[in-house]
Amino acid sequence: MKLANALFILPLAFLAAFYFYPLAAILRISFAGESARGVWELFTDAYYARVLGWTIFQAALSTLLTLVAAFPAAYILARYDFRGAALLRALTTIPFLMPTIVVATAFSALLGPRGSVNLALMQCFQLEKPPLAILNTLWAILLAHTFYNFTIVMRIVGGFWANLDPQFENAARVLGASRARAFWHVTLPLLAPAIVAAALLVFIFDFTSFGVVLILGGPRLATLEVEIYRQTVNLFNLPTAAALSLLQLVCTFALMFAYTRLQARLAQPLRLRPQAVVRRHLQSAGERIGVGGYLVAMLFFLMTPLVSIVVASFAEGLGYYAELFVNRRGSITFVPPIDAVRHSLLFAGATVLLATALGLIAAYSLHANDRQPSSADRRHSFLRRFPSVIHVLDAVYMLPLGTSAVTLGFGFILALGDLRASVALVPIAHTLVAFPFVVRSVLPILRSIQPHLRQAAQALGASPARVWREIDLPIIARAVLVGAVFAFTVSMGEFGATALVARPEMPTIPVAIYRFLGQPGAINFGQALALATILMLVSAAAIVAMERWRVGDAEF
Amino acid sequence: MLRIIDITKTFAGAPLLRGISLTIDAGEIVCLLGPSGSGKTTLLRIIAGLERAEGGRVLFDGRAMTDVPVHQRGFGLMFQDLALFPHRNVFENVAFGLRMQNATRAEIRARVSETLELVGLGDFAARDVNDLSGGEAQRVALARALAPRPRLLMLDEPLGALDRVLREQLVADLRAILKRIGMTSLYVTHDQDEAFAMADRIAIIHAGRLAQVGAAADLYRAPANAFVARFLGLTNLLPARGRADGCVETELGVFPVVSSVGGGDAVALIRPERVRLDARGIPAHVEECVFRAGKFRVRVLTDVGVRLVIETEGALGIGTRVGLAIDAVEVIAA
């Protein structure tokens, strides 16, 4: 038990060094200087209010649009039973799990000046210039955010709706309400908590969205997240960036807090029904056309951007891919693009190892508390004396998830000055984001192992180490694997923190894509497409693997 | 074989075991019988090494077990929830203990099939443990515990989760198997029928102490105190005061004593078969009448407010006035 207690310190030490210490550095800079200039300016300088206001505005609008677009999908998947519903549901998840950089590239590939829509229009109407100028407008951001978060609304609202007893609505109808009024006065209020929860989660994602806003919005439309990056990298104005980060931290923590509270309330809903009772088949022709039409439009909206990347990447045959192996500039900061793939795999490998190890230890340290109060070592464990410590610990392990990636990256730059040039920073940053997922994947399975299984093995002659190998390991193996694959996917796609901490000569795939998108010319754009296609395929493979190995329902 | 001496243990600050001593001889089946929460499972876990006692010693063949870790004690243990490993099939479950002993493959195969044969599951080796019926799972758990040839087998309410009919049959089978291989066993249960059917000797645990240890018939014939009597279903107990003439005085009158145990506070135990219906006897009326095992069990309330259970040949309607004559009582410790 002594050894275990010592191990349990590791995740905390990791968080202390690479999460709390960088955050403290941000605070220090914000409150430093002549009379805490950074913090003071937050209240006096209109610049901050403007950035914050804009961030809220675009997030709110994006959220509203997502709700409106996905609400019918929630209804259809909750109330109708038809072939392919499961597949459809799985397909809508793909955009959400794609790296932001892929989504941003996808919309560039679709709607940008060299995008397929514009190219087609130019060819059709013999135009000189691309007719659609959607890039660098609010519209591009709204579209991409809706595309991204569609599945959240569909799943949270639809999931709640699927179990909602239709008798409430029937009762209203019998009492003389029209379908519309029954919906408005009965169903909608019952759905309200789910809608608010979904909206809040989407709002959080839109509020902290980085890649999409940076690439599709451009500097003029910078949100808090993009502005932190711009102030750090382009203007090297660290005090301002620190003040912005502080603002971002306060906002995200407040939002996460609200969401957690809401989710707890959502967990105790009214009378629920098994879904099978509630579902029905499509009946009238009108129903078929309406539902069918909507679903076709939905699939078109969710699939076209991704498909267009792949298609556009092959515009020159394999030309864009061949170009990845060529080092055009020959300077030290510009390596052959294919090296980015190598770097990404390297970092992802390191992230997998680090995140899995830390996640496993963290999961065990949380689990140590809720074992049955029977083990002889109970008295010796500090953690068990104070059950509330465990709850705090549980929340602490999840904190990195509630912190924006760019803030993390910025904190690294401030705090870990000496390490700044170190290659290790990238996998460490990725681990910070990935290891909570490992904890969340492993912990429920760990809790499901009955203590009697381990004791039975012990009584049959297995030493403690043998018990772990024979009982724990085989049972949690799949969950660990899922966590590891998730860590891999997170690392491959992570952009916000990487953009700040990656060394110039060691770009990852997302960083390389971003650089190519910022360069003029078809070759650069083509290489961005080729890299995005590769990243997309890797992510898709990972998604399939996780679906395969997932045990039960992982926590969101 | 197994000797436990003066075991003490507290739970959440309150004493749970207050000094328990017990000896089990080779090949003997002892049942630890007591209501839930009496600490019997804890005692079992202390013997197994899953928990540490705060005081007292566990000796096996004269050797102290206190510092021997669970996995080196060589005791078998069967849980109420059986705890079959869900990720392994029947064969692998039964083979587990043998693998821990580093037995060869051939030994393992031979021993597993021999043990499965013993519990009557000869052709179950390849089955998934999640597909077994309750009785089958129970037999697999028994086979798993027996396969490594433990020096002592402990069973913690192993039939608790099964329905009554299945349980009665399995108790008989279980006893037959344990007796055939001469396994020294300690069996924990809260069900006296199960204990009576299973045990050579029964140890009744109450308030952290052993209230009485002995063969089933001895316990029933001469319960040591009111708790044991009540636990065995002998519920007619009245506070009693001794008299100079050897009789005792109770609320219902003065009765002769057939046997007397111990001193101090005493109660009179009135066995149902010692109560006769007699019109001139103690006035009472019938509250409940149930047919059981060839006779009627009748609960009556005497006019002075004492409830008794008596046995009659014929049914009595509720509210019927009766008179009771009590021939003699036994006096036991309160």
Question: CATH 2.40.50.140 in chain B, residues?
Answer: 237-333
- Tens-digit pLDDT profile for residues A462-520: 998 999 999 999 989 988 998 999 899 999 999 989 988 888 888 899 998 888 888 87
- Tens-digit pLDDT profile for residues A217-274: 887 888 998 999 988 888 888 888 888 888 888 898 898 888 888 877 765 555 555 5
**Is pLDDT at B126 greater than 70 in this prediction?**
yes
**Is pLDDT at A357 greater than 90 in this prediction?**
yes
Average of per-residue pLDDT across B20-26: 94
Question: CATH 3.40.50.300 in chain B, residues?
Answer: 2-226
A383 pLDDT tier (thresholds 50, 70, 90): very low
Percent of chain A scoring above 90 in pLDDT: 22
Distance (Å) from the alpha carbon of B85 to chain A's nearest alpha carbon: 6
The answer to whether the CB of A203 falls within 8 A of the CB of A146 is no
DSSP A351-398: HHHHHHHHHHHHHHHHHHHHS-TT-GGGGG-HHHH-HHHHHHHHHHHH
Task: Give ipTM to 2 decimals.
Answer: 0.77
Chain A residue nearest residue B74, CA to CA:
A461
Confidence (pLDDT) at A273:
58
Nearest to A376 among B52, B83, B148 (CB): B52
**Is pLDDT at B303 greater than 80 in this prediction?**
yes
Confidence (pLDDT) at A259:
85
Angle A238-266/A21-31 helices, nearest 10 degrees?
A: 120
Confidence (pLDDT) at A402:
79
Look up tokens 């036994």; give the residue: B330
Judge whether B97 is closer than 8 Å to chain A, CB to CB.
yes
What gap in Å lies between CA A5 and CA A17, rounded to an integer?
19
**Is pLDDT at B201 greater than 90 in this prediction?**
yes
What gap in Å lies between CA A201 and CA A203, rounded to an integer?
5
From A23-37, A192-206, B201-215, the region with the lowest mean pLDDT: A23-37
Sorted by where each begins, the domain ranges of chain A are: 1-44+321-556, 46-105+139-308
DSSP helix/strand/coil, A474: helix
A421 pLDDT tier (thresholds 50, 70, 90): low
Percent of chain A scoring above 70 in pLDDT: 88
What is B2-226's CATH topology?
Answer: Rossmann fold (3.40.50)
**Is pLDDT at A552 greater than 60 in this prediction?**
no
* Residues B223, B226, B227, B229, CA torsion sign: positive
Q: Give which of A52, A23, A25, A148 is closest to A399, Cα–Cα.
A: A23
Confidence (pLDDT) at A45:
80
Strand intervals (E) in B27-83: 29-33, 55-60, 63-64, 75-78
Give bridge partners of residue B301 from the DSSP assignment: B285, B307
What gap in Å lies between CA A324 and CA A509, rounded to an integer?
11
Q: Give which of A260, A259, A136, A138 is closest to A203, Cα–Cα.
A: A259
- Tens-digit pLDDT profile for residues B223-253: 888 889 988 888 888 888 877 777 888 888 8
**Is pLDDT at A379 greater than 60 in this prediction?**
no
B259 pLDDT tier (thresholds 50, 70, 90): confident
Judge whether A470 is closer than 8 Å to chain B, CB to CB.
yes
Confidence (pLDDT) at A331:
43
Confidence (pLDDT) at A378:
43
The answer to whether the CB of A489 falls within 8 A of the CB of A542 is yes
Judge whether A376 is closer than 8 Å to chain B, CB to CB.
yes
A47 pLDDT tier (thresholds 50, 70, 90): confident
- Tens-digit pLDDT profile for residues A298-312: 998 888 888 888 888
The answer to whether the CB of B197 falls within 8 A of the CB of B216 is no
The CATH code that applies to domain B237-333 is 2.40.50.140
Cβ <8 Å between A455 and B87: no
Q: Give which of A370, A363, A377, A161 is closest to A270, Cα–Cα.
A: A161
Mean per-residue pLDDT over chain A, rounded: 82
Give the angle B97-B99-B100 at the CA atoms, nearest 5°.
65
What gap in Å lies between CA B17 and CA A553, rounded to an integer?
43
Percent of chain B scoring above 90 in pLDDT: 39
Residues of B in contact with A461 (CB under 8 A): 71-72, 74, 97, 100-101, 148
What gap in Å lies between CA B46 and CA B48, rounded to an integer?
5
What's the token pair of residue A243? Answer: 């003040």
**Is pLDDT at A292 greater than 60 in this prediction?**
yes
Cβ <8 Å between B96 and A460: yes
What is A46-105+139-308's CATH topology?
Answer: MetI-like fold (1.10.3720)
**Is pLDDT at B87 greater than 70 in this prediction?**
yes
Chain A residue nearest residue B144, CA to CA:
A460
Task: Give the DSSP letter of residue B201.
Answer: E
Judge whether A375 is closer than 8 Å to chain B, CB to CB.
yes
Judge whether B9 is closer than 8 Å to chain A, CB to CB.
no
CA dihedral A365, A448, B11, B59 (to 10 degrees): -100
- Tens-digit pLDDT profile for residues B280-296: 888 898 999 888 878 88
The CATH code that applies to domain A1-44+321-556 is 1.10.3720.10
**Is pLDDT at B180 greater than 60 in this prediction?**
yes
Confidence (pLDDT) at A386:
55
B185-189 and B29-33 beta bridge pairing: parallel
Chain B residue nearest residue A455, CA to CA:
B50
Q: Which helix (H) or strand (E) holds B197?
A: helix B192-198
Distance (Å) from the alpha carbon of B81 to chain A's nearest alpha carbon: 8
In sequence order, the 6+-apart residues with CB closer than 8 A to the CB of A248 are A208, A224, A225, A228, A404, A406, A407
- Tens-digit pLDDT profile for residues A92-118: 888 888 888 888 888 888 887 777 777
Nearest to A458 among B52, B70, B87 (CB): B70
Nearest to B100 among A376, A461, A464 (CB): A461
Judge whether B148 is closer than 8 Å to chain A, CB to CB.
yes
